[in-house]
Amino acid sequence: MESMDINRIKKFRQFKNEIRGSDRFLIAGLDIGKSIHYAFLGTANGKTVKRGMRVQNSASGFEHLLTMVQFYMDRDGFKDIVFGLEPTSVYHKPLAEFLITHDHLVVYVTNEAIKKNRSLLDGRWDKNDTKDSANAADLIAQGKCQFYDLPDIQLRDLRALLAFRQRLRKQLHSCRIRIRNNLVAQYFPELDKCWNQAQEENLAIVRWCLSPQIINHLSFEDFFQMVTTRNRGLRQYNRLSKIWEIAPYSIGCQAGDAMQLEAQILVDNIKTIEAHIATVDETIKDICASFQEYEYLLSIPGFGPYISAVVLAAIGTAQRFENTHQVIKFAGFDLNANRSGKKSQSAVPVISKKGKAALRYALYQAALIASSSNAQFRGYYHHLLQGREREKGIRTKMRVKLAAKLLVIAWTLMKKKQPFDPSYLKAQ
């Protein structure tokens, strides 16, 4: 499967080199919809072949598209066809996969490029399906398109699970915020002062006795047994004893049955979501174990199982990047500076953040770990800081720089199929 991806990448690069002004290619710009897509057929030298072609989002619609495209290719003598689309939610994926499995070149144009190019077609900002399909074709004719990445099933499963894990984490955070900022703050505000000390016990208190009035009717032994699963020693005893003692003097409102029910459901949801996350994590590990590159990523200081999985899923086939600049730009670590009306020296560059946010976050966490726990990376980090220690925010900036360095190292190891060597830290 990797060889197939490499062949598609080579075909894409050849297309990028040849497309400008060429009459070899028939360009199919696609505007994606939920039930109907619109296609514009044209050439790189500005000739319109077919405008406003409706394509049903169905098997028969996809087949009809290929039939019509082949008709125009035979009629006008085109040597090849390229399909280009703007990614729209998930609606583009069935068509893109269908075209790729039929050995057609598929590229995509970014939402930002579509928006900026819209007014250039006819001087108007209006948006419609026919215009946007022509817009996509125009961008492709200029070579302003990207490789459409369609990895094998395992890598797609990995990406899907990582995205699902992120959604589960958001749900988990939402439940915790609801419990703390609404229920605890309203019915037992004194508990909030020690909320971060023992999460499991705090959740148990919320579930079983949200209202301090319930605690007032319990002996300390009964309260202790209700909110704990095991005895963890004197610190636990003293903490729960303090909560039990302040309960009669709480300023919290009295919680009715409805609020107690909400508390129980929210806490149970947290337990369920945590169990789901644990299951997802195990599945992610199993999928990653089938990739040789995963072991190379784990060898990098600061890279644990989760961070390695995120990097592996994001990069996919290492050969789709030709150089380190492309990798850096892909993650959004490339530097931009607003120099309008400023001298060059006063225009402070910042990272673009145009790439994958989840990848940047994971790499920043890896940089934090590596710069504090690994001797070589700690030395490299302090070398970056040397002479600039008093600059505002410099430590964060240098860790971002280290994160970009880690990305380049990771990509290099995946490409060369080698484990980490400290020499990479200086070589990259």
Residues 302 and 418 both lie in one domain: yes
Taking the mean position of all CA atoms in its chain, how far away is CA 414? Answer: 20
Distances (CA, A) of 394 to 76, 283, 379, 402, 407: 60, 38, 16, 12, 20
Domain boundary among 149, 183, 217: 149
- Give Cα separations from 346 to 274, 336, 349 (angstroms): 48, 13, 9
Q: How high is the pLDDT of residue 123? A: 58
Residues 22 and 145 in one domain: yes
More confident residue, 258 or 119: 258
Q: What is the dihedral of CA 276, 279, 280, 281, to 10 degrees?
A: 120
pLDDT at 143 > cutoff 70:
yes
Per-residue pLDDT at 144 = 92
Whole-number Å distance between alpha carbons of 144 and 355: 17
User: What pLDDT digit, counting tens, does each position of 223-249 carry?
Assistant: 999 999 888 889 999 999 999 999 999
Domain boundary among 149, 184, 219: 149
Specify the CATH number for the domain of residue 96. Answer: 3.30.420.140
Looking at the structure, do residues 19 and 48 belong to the same domain, yes or no?
yes
SS3 (DSSP) at 418: coil
d(CA 70, CA 84): 16
Q: Is the pLDDT of residue 130 over 80?
A: no
More reliable by pLDDT, 123 or 274: 274
Pair (268, 179) in one structural domain? yes
- 153 vs 6, residue with greater confidence: 153
Burial class (CB in 10 A: 0-12, 13-18, 19+), 374: middle
DSSP code per residue over 43-110 = -TTS-EEEEEEEEESSHHHHHHHHHHHHHHHHHHT-SEEEEEE---TTTTHHHHHHHHHTT-EEEE--
User: Could you tell me if 204 and 274 lie in one domain?
Assistant: yes
Domain hosting residue 334, numbered range: 291-427
Query: Over 50: is that where the pLDDT of 1 sits?
Result: no
Q: What is the CATH number of the domain that holds 185?
A: 1.10.287.4070
pTM score, whole prediction: 0.86
Q: Specify the amino acid at residue 169.
A: R
Torsion angle (degrees, nearest 10) of CA 116, 120, 123, 129: -70
Last residue of a domain, one of 149, 169, 199: 149
Mean pLDDT value of segment 137-152? 92
- Asked if residue 142 and residue 197 are part of one domain, the reply reads no
Residues 138 and 160 reside in one and the same domain: no
Whether residues 253 and 269 fall in one domain: yes
pLDDT at 339 over 80: no
Q: Which of 129, 138, 140 is nearest to 53 (CA)?
A: 129
Band (pLDDT 50/70/90 cuts) for residue 330 is very high
Is residue 314 within 8 Å of residue 356, measured between CB atoms?
A: yes
Over residues 351-375, the mean pLDDT reads 92
Confidence of residue 5 (pLDDT cuts 50, 70, 90): confident
Residues 82 and 106 reside in one and the same domain: yes
Query: Can you tell me the mean pLDDT for 314-325?
Result: 91
Residue 173 exposed, middle or buried by CB count within 10 Å (0-12, 13-18, 19+): exposed
pLDDT of 343 higher than 70: no
Q: Is the pLDDT of residue 345 over 60?
A: no
Per-chain mean pLDDT for the chain: 90
Within 8 A by CB and 6+ apart from 339, the residues are: 347
175 and 275 within one domain: yes
- Residues 267 and 335 both lie in one domain: no
Pair 102, 130 in one domain: yes
Radius of gyration of the chain (CA): 28
Is pLDDT larger for residue 38 or for residue 422?
38
- How many domains does the chain fold into? 3
Tens digit of each residue's pLDDT (9 = 90 or more) over 17-75: 999 888 899 999 999 999 999 999 999 988 999 998 999 999 999 999 999 999 999 99
Rounded to an integer, the average pLDDT of 168-174 is 97
